Amino acid sequence: MTSVLSWAGNRWWSPFTKDRPAASAKLIRGGSMSFVAPAGQYLVRRARSVASYEGTDMSTQTSTEHTDTATSVGQVTSVLIGTHDVDRLRTWYAEVLPPQREERMQQYRVLDYHGFWLFLDPRDDVPPAAADPHRFLLNIEVDDATAVARRADSLGTTWVSPLEDRDGSLFGTMQDPDGNAIQIIQLSDAAKKEMAD
């Protein structure tokens, strides 16, 4: 099982379970906005105090900062999604989550979200629907989650977890036309301030 958690309002949240918050407000204080990991294996950035989640002792999980620039990876800048119907998928992303700009690069449709590139790759060797839509979750921070939800609804989008208020921040998890999980996040000012500390 994969756990997909998002940090907001001193809590980790899971879009795939109804038991929100994920464990309790004491689960993790400080940390990165979100992470995806197999259940029982957690990578936590800047964790200062931890408890447990799904029976896993989180007190031993810490962050490691790699200072050897010769061996560390640079910045993650893109993700590629293989799709059986690239036009359908491009239309959905462009209408629901309008990119800053859009390009064609060889066979790819490329959507630029302020320096993070979403590559849509037309492929004949992938099925029309994602085999395991919960294996991967794309988090997209938006300025107006309600407007995004309205655009998604107008296209008949399926919601895994409808848009909801979590301590002042808005979260919602939907599926793109291929069934991939997309979580929209509108952080409150308080959550942004807390994450910046």
Question: What is the pLDDT, as a whole number, of residue 70?
Answer: 64
**Spatial contact of 127 and 83, defined as CB atoms under 8 Å apart:** no
Q: Measure the CA dihedral 102/79/21/65, to 10°.
A: -120
Contact assessment for residue 57 and residue 44, using Cβ atoms and an 8 Å cutoff: no
Residue with structure tokens 């795939």? 16
pLDDT band at 69 (very low <50, low <70, confident <90, very high): low
Does the pLDDT at position 142 exceed 60?
yes
State the pLDDT at residue 174.
96
Domains and CATH numbers, the chain: 74-128 (3.10.180.10)
pLDDT band, residue 80 (cuts 50/70/90): very high
- pTM for the full predicted model: 0.66
| Mean pLDDT score, 122-149 | 91
* Cβ neighbours of residue 109 closer than 8 Å, sequence gap 6 or more: 86, 89, 90, 102, 103, 119, 120
Q: Which residue has the higher pLDDT, 111 or 34?
A: 111
